[in-house]
Amino acid sequence: MADPTRVFRLPLSSVYPLYVNKVERKGRTRAELDETIRWLTGVGDDELRAHLESGTTLQEFFDGARLNPNAAKITGVICGLRVEDIEDPLMQKIRYLDKVVDELAKGKSMDKIQRT
């Protein structure tokens, strides 16, 4: 069985371009992606760029994040699992990010993504 914590050690900089490609293929922008990431994690533009440039792992990124209180309202299935049922707190945060990126790529409005 594969090590499920392997994803924790992935650099944010290796995942971010995949997110960019995903949203841009669906007609959304990098700016919208960055806004979504800022909303979920509380990081600013400069802080996000620093994480991307320094090779910060997903675990390090989320350890320093200030998760938006509305993140708990993120529900649904990602990678075959309901995000609200994921027991590992770090994996849940990573899947929250995956879920909101999916919603962005599917054309949801920023208000709905941000649960306002």
The pLDDT tens digits of the residues spanning 35-80 come to 999 999 999 999 999 999 999 999 999 999 999 999 999 999 998 9
CB 48 within 8 A of CB 38: yes
Q: How confident is the model at residue 1 (pLDDT cuts 50, 70, 90)?
A: very low
Contacts of 69 (CB under 8 A, 6+ apart): none
Mean pLDDT (the chain) is: 95
CB 14 within 8 A of CB 51: no
The pLDDT of 5-32, averaged and rounded, is 96
Q: What confidence score (pLDDT) does residue 2 get?
A: 59
Q: Which domains does the chain have, with CATH numbers?
A: 9-109 (1.10.8.290)
Contacts of 11 (CB under 8 A, 6+ apart): 55, 56, 57, 58
Q: Above pLDDT 70, what percent of the chain?
A: 97
